[in-house]
């Protein structure tokens, strides 16, 4: 057995993002912080104009837009609660007014409201399902309406539109104390795959990214102290936490024509968390 005690914690690779998304218009929900922020900035580096959706954190959203614009593309922040149909429709109308259309939707907005199962309130359940599952439905539906209205524009992309559904390793790994969250991500999986199946003939590609533990505000407790970090690493064979940019780079590729034959697939960006790490030394 190789000892892993001395494995250095690597710094993030600083490879340049190729301009794979030039001329495309992207909307990233929940993009003021965390994974969403990286999922907005990496496509901007790849040449896309990007709408930063947020519900709270107006200043952080404006900052993300500032970062996007330093990449020589357009950025725009739009406030909308993705669980509300009228707000979602107004956001898409505004985006189409300002940017002309949408080519890429990153259905990222997500929340956690954790509790033991017997203590979980209906409000905690509804809030998580409302944002994580209904929010993805509402945004995907508006995007699909615009994709089908516009169709393929070959100079821009060989597909009529791309949707990337931000899922989680908890689309498959049960998670005690987080039943609402795991249920929302399990739901997201069959929702996006069903949309993918229905819309592939229209050249609309729907895929998902399922991150593992990524260093964001949603899971601070899991990585902030050295003890928590060490414990977390027991679940990560690659022995480092994910950084938001790990997911941002995957978004670029999945939204680009380089992945044109990927339809209804989940990319697990998780350092091996899905590999049943407990079995490395047991079973
Ligand atoms: C959750 C994080 C968690 C990770 C791995 C993500 O979907 O939002 O809180 O650290 O899964 O368990």
**Does the pLDDT at position 1 exceed 50?**
no
Predicted confidence band of residue 282 (pLDDT cuts 50, 70, 90):
confident
Residue 14 within any structural domain of the chain: no
Mean pLDDT of all residues in 111-119:
98
Give residue 156's domain range.
20-220+243-271
Per-residue pLDDT of 125-144, as tens digits, reads 999 999 999 999 999 999 99
Query: Is there an atom of ligand 1 within 6 Å of 127 CB?
Result: no
Q: Tell whether 69 is covered by a domain.
A: yes
Is residue 274 lining ligand 1, measured as CB closer than 6 Å? Answer: no
Residue 178 lies in a domain: yes
CATH number at residue 99: 3.40.50.720
Q: Is the dihedral of CA 131, 274, 228, 214 positive or negative?
A: negative
- Round to the nearest angstrom and report the end-to-end CA distance of the chain: 16
Any ligand 1 atom below 6 A from CB of 213? yes
Check whether 169 has a pLDDT greater than 90: yes
127: CA distance to ligand 1 center in Å?
17
- Domain count for the chain, please give it: 1
Strands of the sheet with 25-28, listed across from one edge:
75-79, 49-54, 25-28, 104-107, 161-166, 204-211, 266-269
Examine residue 280 and state whether it is found in any structural domain, yes or no: no
Is the pTM higher than 0.85? The answer reads: yes
pLDDT at 5: 56
Which of 254, 264, 250, 179 is closest to 211 using CA atoms? 250
Residue 174 within any structural domain of the chain? yes
Q: Is 65 exposed, middle or buried (0-12, 13-18, 19+ CB in 10 A)?
A: buried
76 occurs within a structural domain: yes
Residue bearing the CA closest to ligand 1, atom 12: 213
Centre of ligand 1 from the C-alpha of residue 212, in Å: 6
Going 157 to 163 to 166 to 167, the CA torsion angle's sign is negative
Instruction: Report which DSSP code applies to 17.
Output: P
Residue at 43 is within a domain:
yes
- Kindly state whether residue 63 falls inside one of the protein's structural domains: yes
Distance CA 25, CA 37 (A): 16
Of 236, 191, 228, which Cα lies nearest the Cα of 212? 236
pLDDT category, 123, cuts 50, 70, 90?
A: very high
Buried b (16+ CB within 10 A) or exposed e, 119-136: ebeeebbebbbbbbbbbb
Percent of the chain with pLDDT over 70: 95
């Amino acid at each position: 057995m190789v000892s892993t005690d001395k494995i250095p914690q690597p710094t993030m690779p600083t490879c340049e993002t190729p301009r794979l998304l030039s001329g495309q218009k992207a909307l990233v929900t929940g993009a003021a912080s965390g994974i969403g922020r990286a999922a907005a900035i990496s496509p901007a580096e790849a040449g896309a104009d990007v709408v930063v959706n947020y519900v709270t954190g107006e200043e952080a959203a404006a900052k993300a837009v500032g970062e996007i614009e330093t990449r020589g593309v357009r950025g725009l922040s739009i406030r909308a609660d993705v669980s509300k149909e009228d707000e979602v429709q107004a956001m898409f109308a505004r985006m189409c007014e300002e940017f002309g259309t949408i080519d890429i939707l990153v259905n990222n907005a997500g929340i956690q409201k954790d509790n033991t199962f017997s203590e979980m309130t209906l409000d905690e359940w509804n809030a998580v399902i409302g944002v994580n599952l209904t929010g993805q439905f509402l945004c995907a539906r508006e995007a699909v309406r615009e994709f089908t209205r516009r169709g393929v524009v070959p100079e821009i992309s060989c597909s009529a539109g791309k949707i990337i559904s931000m899922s989680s390793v908890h689309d498959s790994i049960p998670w005690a104390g987080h039943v609402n969250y795991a249920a929302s991500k399990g739901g997201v999986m069959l929702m996006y795959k069903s949309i993918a199946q229905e819309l592939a003939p229209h050249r609309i590609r729907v895929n998902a990214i399922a991150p593992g533990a990524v260093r964001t505000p949603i899971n601070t407790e899991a990585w902030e102290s050295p003890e928590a970090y060490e414990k977390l690493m027991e679940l990560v064979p690659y022995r480092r936490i994910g950084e938001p940019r790990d997911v941002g780079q995957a978004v670029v590729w999945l939204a680009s024509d380089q992945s044109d034959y990927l339809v209804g697939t989940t990319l697990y960006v998780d350092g091996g968390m899905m590999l049943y790490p407990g079995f490395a030394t047991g079973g």
